């Protein structure tokens, strides 16, 4: 087998390795990302903090409302017990009673609003918890699949890698070095096929003299346009 054919075989192994490694990197990246789950978890945290704020406001307002209700009943008792000795004090007491009652009413409305907001937030939390459970279940399946893929790809990578070094050992090391350098600078393909007189990588037509040397295959010939090593096919 000519050196260029062997280098082409080496390239096929390298391209297979590139693909395996890129698939493995994608799977590993997806395994660490948990993107969908993290988004729901963040929303859940937000809603839970909101609920805490609403609940503590509700407790505070309830305490205040209770104090006002007590004040209101104390005033009522005073008003109806006839204990107000001075009749001039009566209007101011009546005014205070109605003021306190109005404040109690306002508090009741506020408490009701807070209860409604808490209920809405609880509903959103329940929805998010349900969504999280569903996404978590789907993620568990995906994770199992990805872990399996990573294991398979790792085995495939080891196998290809062994084949690659076995083949590379048997080749002229200078040619391998030239090939490796070219592959790095040419986006992964160092060896280009020649079909119907055209370099299949850059589509340039080769001069017939050039083509003869490629066809003979005694030495590696580089494309005068893209610089890749040329393998004659037809």
Least Å distance between CB 208 and Zn ion?
16
Spell out, one character per residue from 136 to 165, where the chain touches Zn ion: x when CB under 5 A holds, - when not.
Answer: ------------------------------
Query: In the β-sheet with 198-199, what is the strand arrangement from edge to edge?
Result: 198-199, 191-195, 229-232
Between 7 and 51, whose beta carbon lies closer to Zn ion? 7
Between 8 and 72, whose beta carbon lies closer to Zn ion? 8
Between 97 and 199, whose beta carbon lies closer to Zn ion? 199
Between 6 and 201, whose beta carbon lies closer to Zn ion? 201
- Total residues at the site for Zn ion (CB under 5 A)? 6
Q: Which of 37, 171, 211, 226 binds Zn ion (CB under 5 A)?
A: 226
Which range binds Zn ion by CB under 5 A, 45-53, 143-151, 158-166, 221-229? 221-229
Least Å distance between CB 185 and Zn ion?
13
Least Å distance between CB 221 and Zn ion?
11
Q: Alpha-carbon distance 234 to 232, whole Å?
A: 6
Least Å distance between CB 197 and Zn ion?
12
Copy the structure tokens of residue 181: 């350098």
Least Å distance between CB 203 and Zn ion?
8
Q: SS3 letters for the chain?
A: CCHHHHHHHHHHHHHHHHHHHHHHHHHHHHHHHCHHHHHHHHHHHHHHHHHHHHHHHHHHHHHHHHHHHHHHHHHHHHHHHCCCCCHHHHHHHHHHHHHHHHHHHHHHHHHHHHHHHHHHHHHHHHHHHHHHHHHHHHHHHHHHHHHHHHHHHHHHHHHHHHHHHHHHHHCCHHHHHHHHHHHHHCCCCCEEEEECCEECCCCCECCHHHHHHHHHCCCCCECCCCCCEEEECC
Least Å distance between CB 12 and Zn ion?
18
Q: Which of 153, 223, 229, 231 binds Zn ion (CB under 5 A)?
A: 223
Sites for Zn ion among residues 175-204 (CB under 5 A): 199, 201-202
Instruction: Give me the residues that bind Zn ion (CB under 5 A), please.
Output: 199, 201-202, 223, 225-226
């Amino acid at each position: 087998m000519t050196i260029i054919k062997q280098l082409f075989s080496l390239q096929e192994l390298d391209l297979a390795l590139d693909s395996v490694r890129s698939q493995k990197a994608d799977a590993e990246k997806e395994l660490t990302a948990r993107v969908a789950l993290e988004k729901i978890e963040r929303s859940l945290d937000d809603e839970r903090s909101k609920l805490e704020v609403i609940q503590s406001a509700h407790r505070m307002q309830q305490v205040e409302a209770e104090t006002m209700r007590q004040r209101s009943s104390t005033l009522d008792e005073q008003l109806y017990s006839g204990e107000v000795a001075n009749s001039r004090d009566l209007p101011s007491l009546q005014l205070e009673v109605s003021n306190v009652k109005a404040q109690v009413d306002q508090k009741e409305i506020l408490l009701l609003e807070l209860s409604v907001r808490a209920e809405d937030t609880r509903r959103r939390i329940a929805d998010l918890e349900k969504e999280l459970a569903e996404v978590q279940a789907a993620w568990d399946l995906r994770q199992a699949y990805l872990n399996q893929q990573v294991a398979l790809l790792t085995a495939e990578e080891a196998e290809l890698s062994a084949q690659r070094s076995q083949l590379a050992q048997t080749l002229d090391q200078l040619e391998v070095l030239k090939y490796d350098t070219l592959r790095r600078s040419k986006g992964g393909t160092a060896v280009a096929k020649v079909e119907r007189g055209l370099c299949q990588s850059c589509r340039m037509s080769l001069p017939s003299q050039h083509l003869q040397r490629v066809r003979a295959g005694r030495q590696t010939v580089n494309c005068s346009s893209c610089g890749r090593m040329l393998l004659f096919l037809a």
